[in-house]
Chains A and B, each alone.
Chain A
Amino acid sequence: EAGVTQFPSHSVIEKGQTVTLRCDPISGHDNLYWYRRVMGKEIKFLLHFVKESKQDESGMPNNRFLAERTGGTYSTLKVQPAELEDSGVYFCASSQLGDRGNEQFFGPGTRLTVL
């Protein structure tokens, strides 16, 4: 069974440009999460989808970030326009529908560098 996949693995963009990150969860996992780790800091929660609905987006830093999960399958996270402080590693995770203690399976992450 394929794990969580993320694309691209690494993105380098100029400040002010737009970048779109993609996450494909494990097939059948209705829960999908985005996290990020900026340099030297903790991994922080961004948002949580249940199928195509945003269940919790309390961690989204500002309105430059837009996440979608059309059809309840893969998800995209768009940063527009990107700022220097957006640099970091963006992780996607998925879990089965169920209680909140379910194991979250993580993708390899996308390393975003904003110059």
Chain B
Amino acid sequence: ETGVTQSPTHLIKTRGQQVTLRCSSQSGHNTVSWYQQALGQGPQFIFQYYREEENGRGNFPPRFSGLQFPNYSSELNVNALELDDSALYLCASSRGPDYEQYFGPGTRLTVT
């Protein structure tokens, strides 16, 4: 198992609500990436934070936002939830943007 932890494990929200997901990176890692993985699909890159600054973003709308803290842990915030946001949200940390990523177990979000 990696040293990347995510909370909560599961979450059920109603359409239109807001949600915050949390990730603690592995010790020594300064880069965190977030992914959305729908059932049967590959992970879709949401964004990446490197030393508290966003340094990469995929094709997700602005209602997906994030933060990275001085200890390199991170949050993913999603506003105005839609049914299609139901997915497994994965956090991955690495020693830097060029390095391999170590994934957490994910947060399963269900939007009803």
Asked if A and B are interacting partners, one says no
